[in-house]
Each structure stands twice: as C-alpha cells, then as structure tokens.
Amino acid sequence: MTRFALTIEFDGGPFMGWQRQAHGPSVQEAVERAVTAITGEEAVVHAAGRTDAGVHALAMRAHVDIARTITPFRLMEGLNALLRPDPIAILDCREVADDWHARFSCVARHYEYRIITRRAPMTLARGLAWRIPVSLDIDAMAQAAAMLVGRHDFTTFRSAHCQADSPIRTLDRLEVIAGPGGTIVIEASARSFLHHQVRSMVGCLALVGRGQWRPDDVRRALEARDRAALGLNAPPEGLYFVRADYPDEVSG
C-alpha cells in the first residue's frame, strides 16, 4: 500500500463542497471516482480542509492510499484525464510516508477572500469574487481585522452547525490588502478554522468598510461570544483555500 499526497485546484461553483454529500456533487466524490476508475480500488481521499459549497481551492492538499503499483506521474495524469470536464485539476502528486495525513499532519491553513468593488456586474470574475457596489475604507477594515488576531473564543464567527469541540482558535494572521481595479484581498492564516469563520469575519469587515460598523463593533461582536451578534456572513464565492503547511515540507 502506497500513500500519495495530492495538490488539488478546483472551482467550487458546481459542487456542494469538498466533502461527499448525499444531495449533490462534491469534489471528494469526483476525485475518489477517478481513483477507483484507475486502480479498481475503493478509494477514500482525505483533505486538509472541508470547503463549503461554492468555495474554491488554489492548492488543497489531500492523500489517498493505493495498493496497485503506479507512479505518481501516471496517477496524476490519469486523474486529470478522468476528471474532465469537472473544474478540478491535480497540480502535484507524490509518495509520502504512511503516517503523513493531509488533515492531522497539517500545521497551518491559509485562506484568502476576494472582493471587487464596482457598480457594474462582474463578467470574467463572476462566481469568483464578492462584488460590493461601493468603495470600502481599507484602513478601517485593517484596524478591525487586527482586533481578531490572536487566541480568542470565536463563537460569534462560527456556524450554528459547526462541529468543532471548542470555539477557541488562534488566528495568526488577518490582513486586508488593496489591489488594482477596486480589488481587495483579505488573507487569513491559522492552524485550524471554525466552520464559516473566515466568511463571518470578512462579512463584518465589509460592514466596517462600508461605514455601517465602526472597528470597535467588530471587537464587541467578538466579545459577545454569540452568533446573534454577527453582522454579516460573506458569500462563499469569494473564498479560496490557498495552501496547507506541513512540518519539513514546502507545500506543493
């Protein structure tokens, strides 16, 4: 039995999320179906994170165990051929140790959220960013973001359906970066996130950017430790899983 680590890019628009679902297509199901077609084996693909419906990935890490003898290159090429026309691509495939686990070996996860501020409808970026039709106060958003960095009880920013044992998380980084053409990227890094945490934080930062909240309102929402104190949950299409970090490895 050989364990293979995969680096996967996908457009989350057509899927119900990463995890296999009974009520619609998932990225996990598509990849597992392709592995089974190549190997004849019932495959289970484990990922570093479970993205929601509509959320994208630039480099999701995952692993799968295969008994058949096959090289990483042949496995990657075969998967990419069978995954067409789904918007999923295997960017890298390599053999790893038997105790390497895409989820449990991961020491950091990185996300970004993309906002485009423009009145006109989006065409090229439709489904790939959150359009906000007014300009946003970047400095105020950055001030509010800084209040969320650190170890906190993030109950306000977790989904009511979150299955995590504890709402306590350490947010290592939350930065608001202005780009060209009215684009804004919010980058978030932590060892792990709660369900909807990034989207909930971004939604509140957007309220600050629009002047509907002050930066201190984000701090008060955090301290409330109550989902009812959340101002806004940002839509899924602007969120991207960027990469996962592992000890002694630069993620592919």
Question: Which domains are assigned to the chain?
Answer: 2-105 (3.30.70.580), 108-244 (3.30.70.660)
Those residues with Cβ within 8 angstroms of residue 144's Cβ, 6 or more apart along the chain or in another chain:
204, 205, 208, 213, 215, 217, 218, 219
8 A C-beta contact, residue 245 and residue 114: no
Helix axes 197-209, 215-224, angle to 10 degrees: 150
Tell me, yes or no, if 52 is annotated catalytic. Answer: yes
pLDDT at 163: 83
pLDDT at 161: 84
Dihedral, CA of residue 69, residue 8, residue 12 and residue 130, to nearest 10 = 180
pLDDT at 251: 42
Those residues with Cβ within 8 angstroms of residue 77's Cβ, 6 or more apart along the chain or in another chain:
none
pLDDT at 252: 42
Provide the 8-state DSSP code for 51.
Answer: P
Rounded-to-5 percentages of helix, strand, coil across the chain = 25, 30, 40
pLDDT at 13: 95
pLDDT at 5: 98
Regions of the chain with pLDDT less than 50: 250-252
pLDDT at 59: 98
Question: Each residue of 104-136: pLDDT tens digit?
Answer: 999 999 999 999 999 999 999 999 999 999 999
In this prediction the pTM is: 0.95
Active-site residue, from 52, 65, 137, 153: 52
pLDDT at 23: 86
Reported as type and span, the H/E element at residue 175 is strand 168-178
Q: Torsions phi, psi of 68, nearest 5? A: -65, 145
